[in-house]
Amino acid sequence: MPDRKPLIAGNWKMFKTIDEALITTQQLQKQVGHIKTVDIMIAPPFTAISLVAPFIKDTSIGLSGQNMHWEKEGAYTGEISADMLVNAGCQYVILGHSERRQYFNETDEHINKKVHAALNGGLKPVLCVGETESERDSNKTFSVLDKQIEIGLQGVAIDHVDNVIIAYEPVWAIGTGKTATDEQAQDVHAYLRKRLNDIFKNSAASSIRILYGGSVKPNNIKGLMAMPDIDGALVGGASLDADQFSAIVQYE
């Protein structure tokens, strides 16, 4: 089995002023900055990224944007490019989060353009996919994921595969306190792994990390991480608190 280093990622969403972001980042640096067995990533709001960067330089904690535009630059008021994120200190970018799909009308086609721009710009995209509760109830989970993965990754070259990260985030589990069971999540992750192998027609796809996201907390991370196809977590609410996030990072 390929060696997939676990990644525990924190999505801070639209929370934390610069001062608050600096406090949490420094706490994380002290608590988990030395950990070598797990990759750690935090996604602060844009305003804080470049200011927290020096505090986690040369630690295990990487930085991510929460979104970006696919163009390199231009008259796109309110947007930010891959180059700008890299310049601010990012190695990753979260793309296609369900909140972006739901509230900002992002389509799979938009997200695909962003995936390409991220990879070409030297960022690792964390492509978020997941079904809503009604889609799950009407047995559409796998067809929804097929579309999100196929269009989201359309045209991605095999030599970029190692930099692609997928986050399976069932929409009904985000911020709701409802988590998929370990087995429910594993079933979907195994399905996604198979689809990735079909798409890339190459076993290189087995090196892609697939994170689980949806109400991950210190008390449920261990069971999830014991599943063979769960390679980490994308954490929302619990990542805002350094103690809770550090406990999740140290799940073992």
Q: What is the CA radius of gyration of the chain?
A: 17
Among candidate residues 234, 241, 218, the one with its CA nearest the CA of residue 24: 241
> What single-letter DSSP state applies at residue 222?
H
- Minimum distance of ligand PEP from residue 244's CB (angstroms): 10
Helix (H, G, I), strand (E, B) or coil at 108: helix
For the question of residue 71 being annotated catalytic, the response is no
Question: In terms of CB distance, is 204 or 217 closer to ligand PEP?
Answer: 217
Q: Which of 7, 8, 11, 49 binds ligand PEP (CB under 6 A)?
A: 11
| 166 lines the binding site for ligand PEP (CB under 6 A) | no
Select which of 106, 131, 135, 169 is catalytic.
169
For the question of residue 169 being annotated catalytic, the response is yes
Distance CA 72, CA 59 (A): 29
Contact 147, 112 (CB under 8 A): no
Instruction: Compute how many residues bind ligand PEP; rule: CB under 6 A.
Output: 13
Among candidate residues 61, 156, 151, the one with its CA nearest the CA of residue 118: 156
- Minimum distance of ligand PEP from residue 152's CB (angstroms): 16
Distance CA 98, CA 213 (A): 11
| Residues 189-248, interacting with ligand PEP (CB under 6 A) | 213-216, 234-238
- Minimum distance of ligand PEP from residue 249's CB (angstroms): 14
Select which of 97, 110, 160, 189 is catalytic.
97
Q: Which residues bind ligand PEP (CB under 6 A)?
A: 11, 169, 174-175, 213-216, 234-238
